[in-house]
Chain A
């Protein structure tokens, strides 16, 4: 496990505007050669201005539709075996241990949060969770996150507040226990108390699952609760500077101006 890692190698990604694909496929290059190595149990923070490509990096690792890898690779090393995940389907990537909490989680009508979680847990573990312990496990996780229990029997993210959606993403993180977790602006839209609750839960889960984490954020606040081992500055589709947690403090004062051409 100590050698497990997720590697982004010279990654170039374009977004394809699907709505206009029938007229003429419009491609725009967003990522322009990203290199990043995340070892298991490390926390990497990516900070940078709006539109610099942070979410594109997250989406590309998870395999979201609408993104086209034009060159480079994403490699996953588990138990000494390294493989490219680019040929893996989205669900295979998730079963390999990659988890993405998106900025705006999708709502799905008619599937309850608890049914969704049980189905996902079964898919990830390869067997259905124990009936006796499952309810307890779900209850405990929701309690940690101070979530309203009634959310479990509501349709997935349908009518959830912005904060409830973020809590539900971290609930999934705890239940599914990935090897690598990408948290795309999990902090945005959370008030101070909620942020602390969510971060406590990220830390608790990490202590146990020892996942490598990629935190994408605009603010240093979340980094006070979930301490990063590395901070990377993202600008114009590339990592332009990397450093320790002190880099985040510098950014808080000076902003991104010096990185934008």
Chain B
């Protein structure tokens, strides 16, 4: 099963039975505030979910994400990756990801990660990954959160080969999102469209 939440406020709840698999893609790339709230219950054995998110907050924009995944059956897999960029005064993002692994959810395999790229001063990215494990039998359980400033050395390197600052910035930001855009089950034209929207967000500044 494949589902996409594209540029809209949304609150969604999915229940996955035995052997069901869900690929979910969340895009928040328009210019309005946006809030997406997702809950996944893995209630059948061998159920699996991949969630990929891409967001970009411009000046004054607030983007919120909440993800809850409940492992309530054995052998379930969950894989969560959200990447976000922030550019402009008072661009704010809030990401909250929680994975709960119940006592009977043995052999669980889960990884959640949120990475943010701060492209300017005056931005704020809040990132809260939670992981609660109630079983002793785990295949893998990890979480990661990283928020970093735009890398001056990368910018210098590209510019030192003649590439102007804005084009260089776009290449680096495209590169940052490439991982998640390629991993999500998207058509080529959708990938291109997302990367175009991304460039439009960067172009909108100055």
**Residue positions of A touching B, CB distance < 8 A:** 62-66, 89-91, 93-95, 99-100, 102, 105-106, 108-111, 116, 119-120, 123-124, 155, 172, 176
Contacts and interface: CB of A to CB of B under 8 A. Distances in A.
A231 to B, nearest CB: 26
B163 interface: yes
A100 to B, nearest CB: 6
Contacts of B171: 108, 111, 116, 119
Contact residues on B (Cβ < 8 Å of other chain), bracket: 20 to 34
Interface stretch (B54-62, B94-102, B150-158): B150-158
A102 B163 CA distance: 17
Say whether chain B's binding surface is mostly helix, strand, loop, or mixed.
Answer: helix
Contacts, number: 78
Interface of B: 151-154, 156-165, 167-168, 171-172, 174-179
Given A120-B161, A176-B161, A110 B154 contact: no
Contacts of A100: 160
A91 B154 contact: no
Given A64-B156, A90-B156, A120 B162 contact: yes
A105 B156 CA distance: 11
Contacts of A155: 175
A91 B152 contact: no
A65 B158 CA distance: 13
B179 A116 contact: no
The 3 closest A-B pairs by CB, nearest first: A110-B175, A110-B178, A120-B161
B22 to A, nearest CB: 26
Contacts of B152: 65-66
Nearest to A64: B156
A106 B154 contact: yes
A94 B175 contact: no
